[in-house]
Amino acid sequence: MKKKTITKAEYAHRRGVSRQMVGKYCALGMPTASNGHIDVEKADSWIADNIDKHSEPGRSNLTEARTRKENALASLRELELRKRKGELWEAGEAQAAMEAIVTATRSHFLLLSAKLAPEVAVNGNPTECQAIIDQAIREALQALSEYKLKPKAGK
């Protein structure tokens, strides 16, 4: 009974590799029939002994690597789109925005004493002074809550 052989292309398809990879295996010593076909049993045994044993544990095959690459590229494109839509900021932009908020907050509160001094100075009633100060603080906080920052578009 004659052993079953198949073409290199068929063997490549069966193994999930390219025909060129099967050619490399042959060049490295994988047995082939005299007509250039592949004896599946011998080739599988040779790969198990010479290729699979030397592969790093956990090393992915080419298809898995390509899939990871495509997924990573898709993720990058999605991030870029979200950035262009203004949904994402660069770290430097976010830091600059926070610095702007802190600066605005500081300015609002530093101005309170100059704004309130004349009103509080003429008023001797502590309850009324507290109400004046409370109202000024609430106005400053309201102004800050309405403070809108936007990242630079299309960067």
pLDDT tens profile 1-43: 456 899 999 999 998 889 999 999 999 899 998 898 999 999 9
97 pLDDT higher than 50: yes
Whole-number Cα distances in Å, 145 to 101, 122, 136, 140, 149? 10, 31, 14, 9, 11
Give exposure, 26-45, as e/b (b: 16+ Cβ within 10 Å): beeebebeeeebbbbeebbe
Alpha-carbon distance of 44 to 60, in angstroms, equals 18
Contact call for residues 59 and 76 (beta carbons, < 8 A): no
Contact between 8 and 23 (Cβ < 8 Å): yes
Structure pTM? 0.39
Domain boundaries, the chain: 5-54, 60-88, 91-145
Highest mean pLDDT among 27-31, 48-52, 126-130: 27-31
